Structure 1
Amino acid sequence: MERKMVVTQSDCPARLVPAGTKITIPKNTFVTITQALGGNYTVSVNGNMARIDGTDAAAIGYQAQEFNFEAPADGQISEEQVWEALKTIFDPEIPVNLVDLGLIYKVSIDQATKKVIIDMTLTAPGCGMGPVLVSDVKYRVNKVPHVADVEVELVFDPPWSREMMSEEAQLETGLFF
């Protein structure tokens, strides 16, 4: 997507990049969309970069992304749905989702407390996008039926390497070897 300037049609929840701090972009604010991947929008607003989740896309004039996960009748959290939600989160700088990038190491679910614990890493320990990616993961996984809490643990062992990327992701980024 080419950069596109739009005006917010309503107050819009967003998260600052790279800090992940929650903000509200007021109605009638000019924003420039710089990236639209996985239902997330990276925008430039008042000299800052921010992320708008696809579920809030109507505020910038796009169709809001809805999660159509069917709630399991047994009241349990579906691990498959958690992984599906994680595949909709894209790195703000690389057009590949976090799962295919190999950044998600482990998903654990405590059905008794309805808590999802995710071990994830970053492409580099000092990656400035860490806080916003953690925020994206929490926001999106909280949309899975029966999830009451999401905890994200940043881990750096083993260190991430491009070999952890799916073959498709390596091809997409030109890192196939």
Structure 2
Amino acid sequence: MAASPLTEDAVREALKQVVDPELGINVVDLGLVYGISIEGGRVHVRMTLTAIGCPLAFMVNQMVDQAVRQLPGVQEVEVELVWDPPWTPERMSEEARALLGFW
């Protein structure tokens, strides 16, 4: 059986397994993932964090790397942490906003 093709949707689904340790919500629903690009077996994830001085930045970076590496066909993962545009609660999914009381 052939492996599923490596797609942006597959990467996004894998990233839903990465839960922000402080907020308890995954990085996709928090709106932290700004972009995903794939070239062959190389996956580039462009993302941010909720705060510039986040003490868990290294841990979140590692969790993103590990989640994406589990996908078939991934040979290399690059996580680019950016601060522009800045994250705001409006980037969260409706479900995440409801869970955190942002209505």
TM over 0.5: yes
What is the aligned counterpart of 2:82 among 155, 159, 172? 155
Superposition misfits of 4+ residues, deviation over 2 angstroms:
none
> When you count helix as a share of all residues, which structure comes out higher?
2
Per the alignment, residue 57 of structure 2 pairs with 130
How many angstroms apart in 1 are the aligned matches of 2:91 and 2:9?
20
Cα deviation digits, residues 117-155 of structure 1 (max 9, x gap): 000000011111111000000011000010001000000
Instruction: Please state if 1:88 is matched with 2:17.
Output: yes
Query: How far is the alpha carbon of 1:78 from its aligned partner?
Result: 2.3
What is the aligned counterpart of 2:92 among 151, 165, 176? 165
Cα deviation digits, residues 47-96 of structure 1 (max 9, x gap): xxxxxxxxxxxxxxxxxxxxxxx822xxx422221111001110001121
Count of aligned positions: 102
Q: Secondary structure at the match of 1:100?
A: coil
Unpaired stretches in structure 2, ≥5 consecutive residues: none
Per the alignment, residue 39 of structure 2 pairs with 110
How many angstroms apart in 2 are the aligned matches of 1:153 and 1:79?
16
For the pair shown, which has the larger CA radius of gyration, 1 or 2?
Answer: 1
Cα deviation digits, residues 14-39 of structure 1 (max 9, x gap): xxxxxxxxxxxxxxxxxxxxxxxxxx
- Residue type of the partner of 2:33? I
> When you count strand as a share of all residues, which structure comes out higher?
1
Instruction: Please state if 1:71 is matched with 2:27.
Output: no
Query: Over the residues paired in the alignment, what is the CA RMSD in angstroms?
Result: 1.1
- Residue type of the partner of 1:78? T
Per the alignment, residue 101 of structure 2 pairs with 174
Query: How far is the alpha carbon of 1:108 from its aligned partner?
Result: 0.3
Q: Secondary structure at the match of 1:108?
A: strand
